[in-house]
Amino acid sequence: MKQFLAAIQFLTLFPTKKEFDELVISRSYVWFPVVGLLLGGLLAGADWVFSYFHFPQMPSTLLLVFFLITLTGGFHLDGLADTADGFFSARSREQILEIMKDSRIGTMGALALVFVVLLKGVSLLGIQSEKRTLALVFLPVVGRATQLWFLSVGKYARPEGGLGKVFLSSRKPYDRIWAFLWLILPLVFFFKLEGIIISVFIIGAMLFFHQVCVRKIGGITGDTIGAFTEISEALFLFLFSVLLVGWY
């Protein structure tokens, strides 16, 4: 329970008013997908409220995207912007890491934020079916399952440490299997062929992004994990919207 509360405290704005020791925090990341399920339930509940009161589709969809950003404090969007600024700078490894530490946002970071938020909103707008609720429930689960995978396999890129390094100190070999189960089983169980296709694309993108991180900066950071959280969620919604109109 302490690990679960620590995961909630780390990933959301919900106040738990608890102090956790480093061991509890370091193992809390196995609960990240469960926190995603909690966030997904809140998203689906908000969507039901909007539907019950007959909110127009476009404003309610944008509010759902904003709601998820609010629940997480824009934590992962910050990582996306920092990663885009660093990776698209064509600089050395050390310079990229310095750019990513800079609190100021550059052109590539701003473009990445706009693109990902718009892609989420437009894709979600296209999901108007009986599966929309399930898509909202599992949207944050997908993002947090990728976080679990990166933390279970990645090498930390900053020698001096950072926000995400504490999670790497007590990881177990089976954590990566736990991550894959969260990425694959719910999607395949609830969405069948659509779920298989989405899982394959997201896992492929995750493996590719990990290699990019290794090549660019020698490993992962909290920013790169946050960046792929946003990328995976946008990819999930985009693929889901495409599949619903009969792509396969």
pLDDT by residue for the chain (248 residues), tens digit each?
Answer: 788 888 888 888 887 767 777 778 778 888 999 999 999 999 999 999 999 999 998 999 999 999 999 999 988 999 999 999 999 988 899 999 999 988 889 999 999 999 999 999 999 988 887 888 999 999 999 999 999 999 988 888 887 766 667 777 777 888 889 999 999 999 999 988 889 999 999 999 999 999 999 999 999 998 999 999 999 999 999 999 998 765 44
Please tell me the predicted confidence (pLDDT) of residue 4.
Answer: 86
Say whether 19 sits in a helix, a strand or coil.
coil
- Position 86 in a domain: yes
Closest CA to 168 of 182, 144, 150: 150
What does DSSP assign to residue 164? Answer: T
- Position 71 in a domain: yes
φ, ψ at 121 (rounded to 5°):
-65, -45
What are the structure tokens assigned to 26, written together?
């370091």
- Position 185 in a domain: yes
What are the structure tokens assigned to 92, written together?
């050395």
Per the structure, the count of domains in the chain is: 1
- Position 35 in a domain: yes
- Expressed as residue numbers, the domain containing 239 is 19-243
- Position 9 in a domain: no
Please tell me the predicted confidence (pLDDT) of residue 95.
Answer: 92
d(CA 27, CA 39): 20
d(CA 242, CA 215): 31
For residue 145, CA distances in Å to 21, 70, 73, 125, 176 come to: 23, 20, 19, 24, 9
Please tell me the predicted confidence (pLDDT) of residue 245.
Answer: 61
- Position 14 in a domain: no
CB 224 within 8 A of CB 82: no
Please tell me the predicted confidence (pLDDT) of residue 161.
Answer: 64
Please tell me the predicted confidence (pLDDT) of residue 128.
Answer: 81
Closest CA to 223 of 119, 134, 51, 102: 102
Q: 46 CB contacts (<8 Å, ≥6 apart)?
A: 63, 64, 67
Please tell me the predicted confidence (pLDDT) of residue 209.
Answer: 97
- Position 10 in a domain: no
φ, ψ at 220 (rounded to 5°):
-115, 160
d(CA 188, CA 208): 22
Q: 164 CB contacts (<8 Å, ≥6 apart)?
A: 151, 156, 220, 221, 222, 225
d(CA 94, CA 248): 44
Say whether 220 sits in a helix, a strand or coil.
strand
d(CA 141, CA 183): 8
- Position 7 in a domain: no
Q: How many CB atoms lie within 10 A of CB 171?
A: 18
d(CA 69, CA 72): 5
What are the structure tokens assigned to 139, written together?
């949207």
